Amino acid sequence: MRSKIIHDGQKKKASFIEEARRRQIVEGAISTIASAGLPQASLARIAQDVGVSKGVISYHFAGKDELIQQVVNALFAETNRFIKARVDRAPDAPRRLRAFIEASFEFMAANRANFVALVDIWGSFGSPEAKRRFNADMYDPCRHHLEGILRRGQDSGDFRDFSPGTLAATVQGAIDGVMLQWVFDEEAIDLADCAAELVTMFDLATRRRA
């Protein structure tokens, strides 16, 4: 049987091997994409890097599209889990915002390949519809998380009055934009300095005016 996880209406427990292989292949795909670029990351090459036959990928995934989708899911899930844990540990809104930014950069620095792969992938959504779907599935939740932080900071009186949606997009944008430059050339960007600068800036920009 093929692709239990995807096709079965009622999920049967996927076997040990099924889960292990899926993880292995997804991770292999990330590192192949990061080191060679998406266009060069053919199923054959990914399989070779992982050390299995090409057919294994076809057996465990419905196709390349599903594999890439799972890669994206894994990248976002891992990142968001890390950030959320840091944010939840902070006691008030200003510090949650700060934690969000700092955790983002910290995770980047520790997982460069993930972000190199992500940048390669996010330029590969052909149609405008695919782009919107990616935005809705992956980007919206991030912004929503940020928006919640900002909104609660306004409720508590820590933050001034601004549009939470716009500011969320701005915060997320600043993080991603710096990340992008760093993906292109690690040495052109000092991640820690940029993180510190952004923390200061967004603190100034959100605090209630004195």
Site string for a second copy, 191-210 (x = CB under 8 A): --xx--xx-xxx-xx-----
Location of structure tokens 């983002």: 104
Select the binding partner of residue 29 from DNA, a second copy, none (C-beta < 5 to 8 A, by kind). Answer: none
Helical (H) or strand (E) element with 100: helix 93-110
Residue 42 interacts with a second copy (CB under 8 A)?
no
Q: By C-beta, is 35 or 156 nearer to a second copy?
A: 35
CA distance linking residue 95 with residue 195, whole number of Å: 14
Instruction: Please tell me the count of residues contacting DNA according to CB under 7 A.
Output: 22
Work out which of 31, 42, 111, 154 binds DNA, going by CB under 7 A.
Answer: 42
Applying CB under 7 A, among 45, 84, 95, 151 the residue interacting with DNA is: 45
Contact letters for a second copy, residues 18-37 (x by CB under 8 A): -----------------xxx
When asked if residue 154 is in the footprint of DNA (CB under 7 A), the reply is no
By CB under 7 A, residue 52 contacts DNA: yes
Between 41 and 108, CB nearer to DNA: 41
Question: Considering only CA atoms, which of 118, 30, 113, 16 is closest in space to residue 60?
Answer: 16
User: Considering only residues 57-96, where is the footprint of DNA by CB under 7 A?
Assistant: 58-60, 63-65
Does 196 interact with DNA (rule: CB under 7 A)? no
Q: Which amino acid is at 4?
A: K
Nearest 5°: phi and psi at 159? -105, 155
Report the 3 state secondary structure along 112-170.
HHHHHHHHHHHCCCCCHHHHHHHHHHHHHHHHHHHHHHHHHHHHCCCECCCCHHHHHHH
- By CB under 7 A, tell whether 127 contacts DNA: no
List Cβ neighbours of 103 (8 Å cut-off, separation of 6 or more).
82, 83, 85, 86, 87
Q: Rank residues 41 and 93 by Cβ distance to a second copy and give the closer one.
A: 41
Instruction: Kindly state the helix (H) or strand (E) to which residue 194 belongs, with its residue range.
Output: helix 191-206
Residues that bind a second copy (CB under 8 A): 35-40, 116, 119-128, 130-132, 134-136, 139-140, 143, 162-163, 165-167, 169-170, 172-181, 183-185, 188-190, 193-194, 197-198, 200-202, 204-205
